[in-house]
């Protein structure tokens, strides 16, 4: 095995330097002068309680302090003004089977593995709840798919009717 010459080392360093100089440095996407006109951070307005569409973005197996396995869900909720993240848990204890049925009726699927939740969509009723001094959305109940589709169809029909006039 031969050791590269110093000349080869210099040529490599020169190539790296030239490559870096050729790459354009992208400016930040704002004008620093605009910052002088900003008063303060806008006040955060919590999302209103209501019926919203959601998609399960993440699902993790966890164990409660009592030793019960549950799935911690991260839902992306379309509130109409933004996509909010809402955390919810699916417990498998017998007294919570009603909620698993409610979720199945909502999404059309009864997951058998934690990862099976990811990508499922549906509609749920959300309420506001105080958590660590902030108002957050929390799932109140899952809406059965048939009822959710009726609401969606009625909404689409009302949009068409409004556009016609």
This prediction has a pTM of 0.65
Residue 54 lies in a domain: yes
Residues 6+ apart with CB under 8 A from 111: 59, 71, 117, 120
Task: Work out the burial of residue 52: count CB atoms within 10 Å of its CB; fewer than 13 is exposed, 13-18 middle, 19 or more buried.
Answer: buried
Give 10-residue mean pLDDT values along the chain (165 residues): 65 67 67 78 80 96 96 95 93 95 95 95 95 92 80 55 47
Residue 120 lies in a domain: yes
44 within 8 A of 17, measured Cβ to Cβ = no
Q: What is the CA radius of gyration of the chain?
A: 26
pLDDT at 155: 53
Residue 122 lies in a domain: yes
Residue 139 lies in a domain: yes
Residue 40 lies in a domain: no
**Domains in the chain, number:** 1
109 within 8 A of 126, measured Cβ to Cβ = no
> CA 142, CA 127: separation in Å to the nearest integer?
12
Residue 28 lies in a domain: no
Q: In terms of residue numbers, what domain contains 84?
A: 50-164
Residue 131 lies in a domain: yes
pLDDT at 126: 96
Residue 18 lies in a domain: no
Domain containing residue 73: CATH number: 2.40.50
């Amino acid at each position: 095995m031969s050791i590269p010459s110093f000349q080869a080392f210099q040529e490599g360093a020169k190539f790296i330097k030239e490559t870096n100089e050729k790459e354009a440095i992208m400016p930040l996407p704002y004008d620093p002068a605009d910052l002088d006109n900003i008063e303060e951070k806008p006040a955060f307005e919590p999302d209103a309680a209501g019926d919203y569409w959601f998609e399960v973005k993440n699902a993790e197996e966890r164990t409660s302090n009592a030793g019960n396995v549950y799935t911690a869900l991260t839902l992306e909720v379309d509130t109409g003004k933004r996509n909010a993240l809402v955390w919810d848990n699916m417990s498998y204890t017998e007294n919570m089977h009603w909620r698993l049925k409610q979720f199945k009726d909502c999404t059309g699927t009864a997951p058998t593995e934690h990862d099976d939740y990811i990508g499922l969509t549906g509609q749920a009723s959300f309420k506001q709840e105080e958590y660590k001094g902030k108002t957050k959305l929390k799932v109140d109940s899952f809406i059965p798919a048939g009822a959710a589709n009726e609401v969606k169809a009625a909404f689409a029909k009302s949009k068409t009717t409004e556009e016609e006039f």
